[in-house]
Amino acid sequence: MTTKTQAEMAKIPDGASVVYLLDASSELEVEVLDEWLSGRGTPGEMIRIASTRRRTRTDPRLDARLKRDDDPYLVPVRVVWLPEERQGNRTARWTDLLRLGDPRDPNFIMERLIRKVAPDRIAVVVGEGAHSSELAGAYAATDEVVTFREFATRRAWLSLERAERKLRGNRYKIPKFLHEELTTRPEFGDGAIQFGTERGLSEKMSFRRASYYLREMAASHSPFLIDLIANAIHALYHRGYGAIHYDAESIKKIATLGQEHPLVFLPSHRSHFDRISLQYILWENDLPPNHTAGGINMNFFPIGPLIRRTGVFFIRRSFRGNELYKFVVKQYLDYLIERRFPLEWYIEGGRSRTGKPRPPTYGLLSWVVDSWRRGKAEDVILIPISIGYDEIQDVGAYAAEARGGEKQPESFGWALGAVRNLASRYGNIHVRFADTISVAEQLGAAGTSDTHLEIQKVAFEVMSRISRATPVTPTALVSIALAVAGGKPHTADNLAEIVFEHAAYVEDRGFPITERVETVAIVERVLDRLVEQWTVTRRIGQAETAYWTDFDQSLEVAYYRNMVVHFFLPRAMAEVALVGAEDEEDFWARISELRDLLKFEFFFPEKEALQEEIAADLCGDVPKWREEVEKGEGESVLRSTRPVTAPWALGAIVEAYLVVAHQLKADGGGVDDDRFIDACLERAQFYLLDQRISHDEAISKELFTSGLSLVRNREQIDTEAKRESFSTQMNSLHADLNALPTGTGRGSDQSLSSP
C-alpha cells in the first residue's frame, strides 16, 4: 500500500472498468475528490461509501455495480485534512482548540475556510485497488457475518487507513474499526452466546452484554487527543523533572521489530508518570501508541475518557466467575495481537510501595501466550523496561501506607493535587529498554502444552531483565549513605565518603548508572533536593551544615536505595554467610538458607547462577577467598572487602521478619492477617524504642506482609515447634547481622562522627 497525493496516481490495469470508492464525509469533500480525479486522466465511475469521519451510508448503487459482469477495478480515495505545519511537523496543538476544534476533522465552515486560505492542508490519499472478483474471493473465504457491500466498504477503509498512515505517521496507527470487525466474527458471537447462556441470559442479551463489555474496556484512540496529550505531557513533566533520558538506538530496534511482530511493553511501575513517560517517547519517535491495560478505578471523569482516547483500556479489578467478561478480554487481546497493535501493562500489577519490584502477575501474560499458541501471531516480542527516577513525588504517600495509613483513592481532585505538587524539582526520568524476549524462542514451537510454570519463568525473566537495566542514580547512593549514617547528623563531606565508596563498587562491577558521582557538590545537590521535598532534614550551623533522616523520613529515603539494592544483594548475602562459616560447604549452605528466606523480597537466579555471582563478586576484592573460607577464616575475608552492605541492604528485612516471628509465637496458630499486621506494627515500634531493632524502615506493613507470606509458604505457622524454629532462625540471623561492621572503610566498625 502506498500513499497517493496530488502528485501521483495508482497504476490502473489496462482496459479495466474503474470505480472510485469515495470515502467523503461532506459535499465539499466530494467536490475536492471530483476535481482531483478529473485532473488525473483516468476516468471512472464515482460511488460514495460510508464515511469513516461522519459515518454516512454507502450508496446502494454499489451493490448493483459489484454484481456486473465487467469485473470493475475498485479504487478507494479519501480527502485528508492536515494540521498547520509548524517547524516541519503537522501535529495538533492546544491552540487548535481555539480554532474550533480538531484540525483533522474540520466542520462545515472550517472546511471552506481551509480550502480558501490554506489549500496545502488538503491532501488526497488513494488506497490500493482491487478487482471486484478479488474481493468476492476474499469475501467467500471470510467468516465475518457481513454483506458483500459491507465487506467491500470495510476493505476500502482499511486500505485508506494504511495509505493515510504513510502520510501522517505511525504514531496514529490505531484500530479504527475494532467494534465492527470484532463483533462480526462468528467466534465472538458464538462465544458470547455460549458464556452468556451459562449465566442465564438469552442469546440476544448475551451478545449485547458482550458488546457492552467490549465498549467498556476497549481503548478508543483519537489522533487529535494523542497530539494534545503528548504536548500536555511535555509541559507536565517539565514542571517537576528536567528531562526524560532514553537510548534512541533502542527505539529504532523496537520500531523495526514492530513491523514484523506484535510488541508487548512491560515497564516497571513506581509512579503514575510511568505511562506518560513511555507514551511521550513513542509519540516523539513516531511509533504507534500502546494499548495500555489500566484498572477500572482510573476510569473517572475527566481523566478516564481522556486516557482512554490515548490508548488505555480498562479491565475490572475482579471478574472471577464471570466467564463472559473473561472471554471478551481474550477476544480483545486476540484482535490486537493479530493486527500487531502494541500492548502495554505493568507486570507487577501495581506501583511498588518500597522501591523493590513487586511479584509479577500472570493473567494477561498467560492470555497473550495463549493467543500466540493459537496462531494469532508467529511470535510475540516482550520488551522489559525500567523506568527510574532521581526522585518520586509519591514516596511520602508510600511511606504513610507502609506505616498503616490508608491509600488515597484516585479522583480528579487527587490528580490536580499531584500536578500542584510538581512545583518541586525531582531531577530526571531514566527509561532503559532491556533486551527483548521472544515468546517463540522462550517457550518453543507453537502448539506445545502450556503450563503455569512456563509462564512463571517468562515473568521471572522479564523482572530480572528490568532489574539489570535499572540504573544506579546519585539519589540511590546518597540514600545508602544516609542508611549507613543511621539517622545521625552528618556533613555532606562525611556522607560523600560513603557515597564515593559505594560508587566505586558500582563502577568496578559495571552496573548501569545515570551519572558518575565524583564530587561533594553532586552529593550536596541531591541532599538539598531531598530537603526541598521534606525527605531529609537539614540544619545549617555557623561552621557546618548537617543532614539526617528522622523516623518519618526513613522509609521515604529507603525507597531510592531499594530501587538498586539487588545489585548489592550477592555481596550482602556473602557478608552474612561469612560470619561464622566453618568451611566453604557451610558457607554455601548459609547462602542457600538466605536465598530461601529472602525469596519473597528479591528475584533470585538459579542456585548455580547465584553462586557464580557471589564467587565473582568476592574474587573482585579477595582473589583467594575460597582458601580462607575453607580454613574457617571467613571473618578475615570480611575485613578485606569493601564496602560493607548487609546492614543497610538486609537489616530492615531481617528485623521486620524477626518481629513477625516473635508475633507468631505470641499469637499461636490462628492468624487474622489485618489484625496480625497491626500487631506487628505495634510490636516493632516498641522494639525500636527498646533498641531491640535499629532500622526505622523495618516498621513496614509491606515487609510484615512478605514475612507472613514466607512462613505460610514454608508452612511454619501450624505448630508451636515450627513457629519456634522460625523464631530461632531469625534470632540467629539478627545476631549475625549485628556482628558485622556498620561503618565505612575496610572492616571499620565505627560509624562516622557527627559534626
Mean pLDDT computed over every residue of the chain: 90
Residue 265 has pLDDT above 70, yes or no: yes
Which backbone phi and psi does 140 adopt, to 5 degrees?
-65, -30
Amino acid of residue 242: G
pLDDT for 446: 44
Phi-psi region of 427 (alpha: psi -120 to 50; beta: other; left: phi over 0): left
Calculate the alpha carbon distances from 326 to 110, 213, 389 in Å. 44, 10, 35
Banded pLDDT at 450 (limits 50, 70, 90):
low
- Band of the pLDDT at 199, cuts 50, 70, 90? very high
Least confident interval from 90-94, 135-139, 421-425, 589-593:
421-425
Q: Sorting pLDDT into bands at 50, 70 and 90, what band is 713?
A: very high
Q: 259-268, 629-638, 735-744: which range is least confident on average? A: 735-744
C-alpha cell recorded at residue 515:
551519572
Q: What is the pLDDT of residues 28-40, one digit of tens each?
A: 999 999 999 988 8
Least confident of 133-142, 509-518, 679-688, 739-748: 739-748
Section 269-290 average pLDDT: 94
Average pLDDT over residues 649-674: 92
Q: Is the pLDDT of residue 219 over 50?
A: yes
* More confident of the two residues 572 and 143: 572
754 confidence band (pLDDT: 50, 70, 90): very low
CA atoms of 271 and 236, how far apart (whole Å):
14
Ranges 62-71, 263-272, 572-581, 591-600: which has the least confidence = 62-71
Q: What is the pLDDT of residue 453?
A: 87
Taking residues 383-396, report their average pLDDT: 94
Contacts within 8 Å (CB) and 24+ apart, 141-144? 143/185, 143/186, 143/187, 144/181, 144/184, 144/185, 144/186
Distance in angstroms (rounded) separating the CA atoms of residues 684 and 700: 9
DSSP states along 91-155: ---GGGGGGTS-TTS--HHHHHHHHHH-GGGEEEEEPPPEEHHHHHHHHHH------HHHHHHHH
What is the pLDDT at residue 145?
81
**Pairwise CA distance, residues 573 & 575, whole Å:** 5
Q: What is the average per-residue pLDDT within 604-626?
A: 95
What are residue 659's phi and psi, to 5 degrees? -65, -45
Are the C-beta atoms of residues 708 and 673 closer than 8 Å to each other? yes
Residue 260 has pLDDT above 90, yes or no: yes
Cell reading at 576: 552474612
Asked if residue 236 has pLDDT above 60, the reply is yes
pLDDT at 214 (0 to 100): 96
Using alpha carbons, select from 581, 750, 575, 704 the residue that is nearest to residue 647.
575
**SS3 of 431-498:** EEECCCEEHHHHHCCCCCCCCHHHHHHHHHHHHHHHHHHCCECHHHHHHHHHHHHCCCCEEHHHHHHH
Q: How far apart are CA 664 and CA 238, in angstroms?
A: 48
- Report which of residues 416 and 110 the model is more confident about: 110
- The second-level CATH assignment, the architecture, of 221-466 is 3-Layer(aba) Sandwich (3.40)
217-226, 411-420, 428-437: lowest mean pLDDT where? 411-420
CA torsion, ordered 655, 661, 662, 667, to nearest 10 deg: 140
What is the rounded average pLDDT of the residues 245-254?
Answer: 97
Q: What is the pLDDT of residue 10?
A: 61
Residue 375: predicted pLDDT = 92
Q: What is the pLDDT of residue 42?
A: 80
Q: What percent of the chain has pLDDT over 70?
A: 94
Tell me what pLDDT residue 452 has.
Answer: 83
Residue 412 has pLDDT above 90, yes or no: no
pLDDT of residue 11: 75
For 667-686, the pLDDT digits (tens) are 877 788 999 999 999 999 99
CB 698 within 8 A of CB 551: no
Calculate helix-pair angle for 323-338, 186-198, nearest 10 degrees: 160
More confident residue, 200 or 422: 200
User: What is the CATH number that goes with domain 474-562?
Assistant: 1.10.10.10
Q: What is the pTM of this model?
A: 0.91
pLDDT at 620 > cutoff 70? yes
What mean pLDDT is predicted for residues 233-260?
93
Binned at pLDDT 50, 70 and 90, residue 749 comes out as very low
pLDDT tens readout for residues 297-324: 778 778 888 899 999 999 998 888 899 9
Of 96-105, 310-319, 336-345, 451-460, the range with the lowest mean pLDDT is: 96-105
pLDDT value of position 87: 81
Report whether pLDDT(5) > 70.
no
